[in-house]
Amino acid sequence: MNADIEVLRRDLEDAATHLGRPHDLRFKPMFGGLMAYFDEKPLAWLSTQGMALKVPEQDQAALLAHEGAARFRHRADAPPSRSYLIVPPSLCRDTPRLAEWLERCARAVPAAQKRPRPKARPR
């Protein structure tokens, strides 16, 4: 594994530990990087581009206001992600602040869970 990705992994592990929830964080190797899951939900993509958090829409402007934050792109020619944002290195190394972002992102309810399920039709 790339040494830079291992550093990002430790940063995320430190943030989860800061929240008292290291057991809720797990990683899965994917496409040369790591996908991070928190409380069994996809939370972050760690790659040579940096750490990209899956940020709820209502919080994206706040993260993008940090110098160095940007929308993640899977490839240089790919469109920017709607939900994954690159976290600036200064924020990755600040465990309490990264932990706050981890908590904000983990609390977000996926859009699929927000929509009411249609009622079953009688047969």
pTM of the model: 0.82
Segment 43-86, tens digit of pLDDT: 999 998 999 999 999 999 999 999 999 999 988 888 999 999 99
Q: What's the distance, Cα to Cα, between the start and end of the chain in Å?
A: 54
Model confidence pLDDT, tens digit, residues 90-106: 999 999 999 999 999 98
pLDDT of residue 112: 43
Q: Does domain 3-112 have CATH number 3.40.50.1000?
A: no
Q: Which of 108, 80, 104 lies closest to 91, judged by CA? A: 104
Domain boundaries, the chain: 3-112
Q: What percent of the chain has pLDDT over 70?
A: 87
Helix axes 95-107, 3-18, angle to 10 degrees: 80
Residue 30's DSSP bridge partners are 33
